[in-house]
Amino acid sequence: MRTIRLRRPRLNLAAGLLWAAPYSLLGLLVAVPAWALGARLRRVDHTLECSGGALGGWMLRLPNRHRLVALTLGHVILGVDAAALQRLGTHERVHVQQYEIWGPFFGPAYLLESLWQGLRGRDPYLANRFERQAYAKGGPFTI
Residues contributing to the site for Zn ion (CB under 5 A): 131, 134
Distance CA(87)–CA(135), nearest Å, equals 12
CA distances from 88 to 2, 65, 105, 131 (A): 10, 17, 24, 12
3-state helix, strand, coil in the chain (%, to 5): 60, 15, 30
Tell me the residue number closest to Zn ion, measured at CB.
134
Closest approach of Zn ion to the CB of residue 130, in Å: 7
When the beta carbons of 96 and 134 are compared against Zn ion, the nearer one is 134
- What's the rounded Cα separation, in Å, for the pair 80 and 60? 7
The least CB distance from residue 38 to Zn ion, in Å, is: 25
| Choice between 80 and 134, CB closer to Zn ion | 134
Q: Which is nearer to Zn ion, 81 or 92 (CB)?
A: 92
Q: How far apart are CA 113 and CA 107, in angstroms?
A: 10
Residue with smaller CB distance to Zn ion, 20 or 134: 134
Minimum distance of Zn ion from residue 133's CB (angstroms): 9
State the minimum distance, in angstroms, from the CB of residue 125 to Zn ion: 8
99: nearest Cα among 35, 15, 33: 15
Q: From the CB of residue 52, how many other CB atoms can be counted at a distance below 10 Å?
A: 21
